[in-house]
Amino acid sequence: MVNERNDTTGAGRPASLILIEQSGAKHQIPQVSCVSGMAGAEQAMRHPGLHLREVKVVSQHRAIARWKAGERGWRRVV
């Protein structure tokens, strides 16, 4: 498990969770770390009431992870 306080890979840096709806509307949600952003992304993708087409975790203007919705569910993209 990653400890946010002593991780040297940057996981403890502030991040943003970006949710992009099917309509194209974007919601940027500040996160205390990349770890909490990844957890938030997972939670958003599992929420049945949200109509999302893309989920991103961004830190220091760099995408840490990105997922797109498809016919067979969510897939991680590079």
Domain ranges of the chain: 17-77
DSSP letters for 6-74: T-SSSTTS-EEEEEEETTS-EEEEEESSHHHHHHHHHHHHH-TT--EEEEEEEETTEEEEEEEEETTEE
This prediction has a pTM of: 0.82
**Amino acid symbol at 7:** D
Q: What pLDDT score was predicted for residue 68?
A: 97
Q: Which of 24, 20, 9 minimizes the C-alpha distance to 59?
A: 9
pLDDT band at residue 78 under the 50/70/90 scheme: confident
> Can you give the pLDDT at residue 37?
97
Q: Is 76 in a helix, a strand, or coil?
A: strand
Residues 5-52: tens digit of each pLDDT: 444 455 679 999 999 999 999 999 999 999 999 999 999 999 988 999
pLDDT at 2 over 90: no
